[in-house]
Each structure stands twice: as structure tokens, then as C-alpha cells.
Amino acid sequence: MYEQIIKEKEPEMDKVVDFVTKKISSFRTGRATPALIENIQAECFGQMMPIKQLAAISVPSARTLSIQPWDKTYMEAIEKAISREGAGLSPVVSGDVILINMPQMSEELRKELSKALSQINDDAKRTIRKYRDEAWSDIQDKTRDGLIREDDKFKAKDKLQELVDKYNKKVDDLVDRKKVEIEG
């Protein structure tokens, strides 16, 4: 019975890890990556669309992004969107492509990003703890109702903590890797 309660929390914890992955992928490091701009919304034909649906995004060098719109009429909309939402990125139109050269990161920006990563880490762990508390409360209720034996309640507590530790480690690993990218 307690195994099912714990198993039901796993997909929710997976969502926390997915959220952290998506959130930190958009953090600008010194390296060019399509994740920096692919979800920026550009207005085309009266609709807001992510750049990844309007153009091919490539990385010709470690510090350069190249955006080649599927249709030349998208060029201006994509350029404006990147200028507006690209967090300091300066797109340059060169023929039928838009180039973005990644500026050097200042020490101040590195500190801000590191602080933001710590906040994301804390928020993710807080959410994981919330799911643990929900499961533990459910296990205690079922124990009081006689559906879970007292011995199993303590096994459940250990299993639940193992699950929390596993997901906390996943979040820590993601954040630590991104911090290395930012500092490096």
C-alpha cells in the first residue's frame, strides 16, 4: 500500500527535475547554445511563435549562434524578438541569416546567474519536500486507518527519504553542472 503512495509522487518529482532542466538551459553562459533563444516568441502573421518553429538554429562556433529563417519574411520579427527578450544579445542580419555573437560574461553577471541558480535549487528542493510531506501525511493517515501496519510505516519513511535524496541529487547535479559552465 505504501509503495503505491510513494510511486505516485515520483512523476511529480520528475516534473520538478524537468522544470529545473528547462529553466537553467536558458541561462546564458559564455557558450552559444540554441536553448538561449529557441523559445523566444516572435510575432509572425499576428501570432506569437517560438523561434524554433520559424527558423533553423545552429552553432557555427562556441561563441556564435546562426539563425536561418524558413522564410525571409520572418527575418525582421525574429530579430526584434531577440533584441527584446534576448537578455543582452545583439542580433546582426547578414544576408539570409541572423548571427548572434555571445558577449563575454562580466563577473557581475556570473554572480547574478549563480545566485539565480541557487534560488532555483532551493525552490526545487522545497517542492520536493512538499511532495514528501504529502506522501508522509497520506501514509500516516492510512496507518491510523489500519491500512498500513506500523512496521511498514517506518519502512515507508525510509523509502520516501531515499526517493527525496535521489531527486535532490538530480537537481544538485544539474545546478552544479550549470555553475561550472558559468564560471568556466
- Mean pLDDT, all residues of the chain: 86
* Averaged pLDDT, 56-74: 86
Query: For the segment 12-41, what is each residue's pLDDT rounded down to a tens digit?
Result: 999 999 999 888 877 766 677 787 788 888
- pLDDT beyond 90 at 122: yes
Share of the chain above pLDDT 70, in %: 96
Domains in the chain, CATH or no CATH each: 2-25+106-183 (1.10.132.20), 34-101 (3.30.1360.40)
Burial of residue 157 (number of CB atoms within 10 Å: 0-12, 13-18, 19+): middle
Which positions ≥6 away from 168 have C-beta within 8 Å?
Answer: 125, 128
Task: Give the pLDDT band (50/70/90) at residue 171.
Answer: very high
pLDDT for position 86: 63
Question: What is the Cα–Cα distance from 127 to 125, expressed in whole angstroms?
Answer: 5
